Structure 1
Amino acid sequence: MFSLTPVVRALLILNVLVFLVTNDAIIDQFGLHSFLSDKFNPIQLLTHMFLHGGFNHIFSNMIGLVVFGPMLERNWGAQRFTFFYFFTGLGAALLFSGINYFEVHDVYETVQAYRDNPSYDNFLGFVDQHAVSYYDRLTPFIDKFKSFPNDSKNIQDSVAIVNRIFSNQVDEPMVGASGAIFGVIMGFGLLFPNTQLFLLFPPIPVKAKYLVIFYGAFELYSGVHRTQTDNVAHFAHIGGMLFAFILIKYWGSQRKTFY
């Protein structure tokens, strides 16, 4: 069905093999953690690209790789395509991590403020602002805290809960090759903008350039309006597309023919 090129085939095999041996411990060690996390290790900027959170996750990424990757590799050659793939993947990780740092740092400051002034109203405000996904699990404690807001044990427990929520957020790893895959999609759209692609949903033809515009606009909107229950790294996708655009325009400025 697909005519795979050497680098695309190697990336596909490697991703599948890693997926087959992946467990929670491997994701915790090699997934990309926040810069504010004690679990962060620079090597995670690379290793997270070969980890996936489930079958649907790896399936969608590998479909993107085998559909769009081979034409780029044939036109650029194996060496340039490999550099492009990892450059966009690393760029995606850096953009995601930078934005995540400012987001988590805001939560950290809120946590610090709560530690200094714990109360029922402030606890409820923290949950509404930074931990709405935990609300159902916290309902029994919230009801108890509301009934006895001045109880010292409730106050101590509320501080412990806030600390635990922050720890869960800062230690949640990001995994997947999506950043590099979105870079590949951007590259395809830039090099072959008028190529007709046939979508599955809806089943209509669309030019590559319009698909790229749609993906970029959707990811930007989703990233800006991201909800706490949305666990998709939209800014990693945007980062992959952005770094792909920058690199291709740089190559073009060097007057090197690559398509």
Structure 2
Amino acid sequence: MFGRLTPVVKNLLLINVVIFVIQQLLSSEAIIYIFGLNNIKSDYFYPFQYITYMFLHGTFMHLFFNMFAIFIFGPILEGYWGPKRFLIFYMVAGIGSGLLYSGIEYFDYKNTVDAYDNFNANPDARSYVDFYESIYNLDNKQEAQLMQEYENASGNPTMVGRLKNETREVLMRIKNIPTVGASGAIFGILAAFALLFPNTQLMLLFPPIPIKAKYFVLIYAGIELFQGIQRAPGDNVAHYAHLAGALVGFILVKYWQSKNPGTY
């Protein structure tokens, strides 16, 4: 089975696994904060993170599924393009995903800062809910709970002050959540595979049914878009980074096709 591994794919798998093992051995959050991709407004942000973030992973399953995708799709693309072009594609998709996601994060964070400033300047139940609404999509029950939480505190300056401190802590926390993983580059690979081999039959694991590559990637991207729009509390997946990687991969393949139409 491992005989099918191509040189760049083999090295990517090795590098990612070794780095993950180092993460586990050191058990230090400092690695994530230094080398993960931080919000550009964060004190922990450094430009080199656009490269390093894609070689870190948060959990074993995060690593496993990303490496599984490289193992399945990477050798085919590397065999088609050659090692040099495949590595260029992988890095451009990963870096491009990070850059686009930084832009999305910047505007999301700006909206949250505006909501935070409004709550501190004009503290009431509505502005309190609006602050959390700028981060998550709240259902009616969650909104009512937040409304009631503020109403219980209103009239008591100490309690209102406590809510202000809580919102400040939330603001600082979301500013300093680093993004890690090869998923942006992986989605670039998926987009490229769907463009170059659209009718290739893939076998899903769950459920075990065949599906053409073009439909698989479109459905997967649609799910990511839906989950990104949902902004569910507790969802710590960077869905828009995945979509950004797919977009960069799509654009790069189309660019190469326009430059070398006879080879595609």
Name the CA shift for 1:181/1:258 in 2 (closer, same or farther; >3 Å): farther
Q: Deviations over 1:53-109 (max 9, x none)?
A: 101100000000010000111111111000000101111111211111111110000
Q: Give the SS at the match of 2:202.
A: strand
Which structure has the higher relative contact order (CA within 8 Å, separation 6+)?
1
- Residue of structure 1 equivalent to 2:163: 158
Separation (CA, whole Å) in 2 of partners of 1:225 and 1:131: 8
Name the CA shift for 1:130/1:207 in 2 (closer, same or farther; >3 Å): closer
CA contact (8 A) 2:198 2:214 kept: yes
- Residue of structure 2 equivalent to 1:45: 50
CA contact (8 A) 1:183 1:243 kept: yes
- 2:229 counterpart (224, 227, 241): 224
**Structure 1 counterpart of 2:247, which letter?**
L
- Residue of structure 1 equivalent to 2:260: 255
Q: What TM-score does the superposition give when structure 1 sets the normalisation length?
A: 0.89
Separation (CA, whole Å) in 2 of partners of 1:131 and 1:18: 32
Cα RMSD over matched residues?
Answer: 2.4
Q: Give the SS at the match of 1:197.
A: strand
Name the CA shift for 1:13/1:257 in 2 (closer, same or farther; >3 Å): farther
Separation (CA, whole Å) in 2 of partners of 1:88 and 1:129: 29
Q: Give the SS at the match of 1:176.
A: coil
- 1:60 counterpart (65, 69, 80): 65
Name the CA shift for 1:258/1:62 in 2 (closer, same or farther; >3 Å): farther
**Structure 2 counterpart of 1:94, which letter?**
L
- Residue of structure 2 equivalent to 1:16: 17
Separation (CA, whole Å) in 2 of partners of 1:148 and 1:192: 59
Alignment of 1:122-161 (within 5 A): 122-127=127-132, 130=135, 146-161=151-166
Separation (CA, whole Å) in 1 of partners of 2:45 and 2:151: 37
CA contact (8 A) 1:75 1:258 kept: no
- Structure 1 residue runs without a partner (length 5+): none
CA contact (8 A) 1:182 1:241 kept: yes
Q: Deviations over 1:207-259 (max 9, x none)?
A: 21211221222222222233232211111111111111111111111125545
4+ runs of 1 displaced by more than 4 Å?
145-148, 256-259
- Residue of structure 2 equivalent to 1:102: 107
Separation (CA, whole Å) in 1 of partners of 2:104 and 2:132: 21
Separation (CA, whole Å) in 1 of partners of 2:219 and 2:153: 51
Q: Give the SS at the match of 2:211.
A: strand
